[in-house]
Amino acid sequence: MASFDIASKVDAQVVENAMNVARKEIINRYDFNGSNTTIDFNKKDLTVQITTETEMRIDTVVDIIITRGSKQGIDPRSYDVSKEAYASGPMMKKDIKLRNGLDDDAIKKIIKAIKDSGAKVQPQKMDQIIRVSGKKIDDLQLVMATLRKGDYGFPLQFENMKS
């Protein structure tokens, strides 16, 4: 029985490298000259905290982080930028959480898409991943192609392919 796993993972070391590149770019940019802008990355919680003077600079830093991350191979959908910036004294702060693992809503959407594809496979939820198994590898490849076309709000990785 052939199978593979559908997951959504972010490598913390790659994110840390992208944050270091973003910090260097901010230091060298003329529009951040003399500003007190910091980017703190918490590897354990996979959160990025931006601190700067204005909300406009926060938006610019978020753009830099997403751009530098995508050049390092991090999907822009991995960043959860839905939280608003908040004031902390004279500074503005914004917390960005990195999505690691699939949530229940995404798992339901993905399983529904797999069942609607018509392939003869069995999807199975296993914690924060989905294991898809079937008799033919062609059916598994059909499922992969179907899922690559759709947008589920998470970057999907197909791993652990066994035949």
CA contacts within 13 A on the Cβ side of 120: 5
For the chain, 163 residues long, give each residue's pLDDT as a single digit of tens. Answer: 889 999 999 999 999 999 999 999 999 989 888 889 999 999 999 999 999 999 999 999 999 999 999 999 999 999 999 889 999 889 999 999 998 888 888 899 999 999 998 889 999 998 889 999 999 898 999 999 999 998 888 889 899 888 7
Q: Which of 161, 159, 155, 157 is nearest to 78 (CA)?
A: 155
Domains of the chain: 2-8+102-162 (3.30.70.860), 12-98 (3.30.70.990)
pTM recorded for the entire structure: 0.83
CA distance 163 to 107: 23
Q: Token pair of 126, please?
A: 């296993």
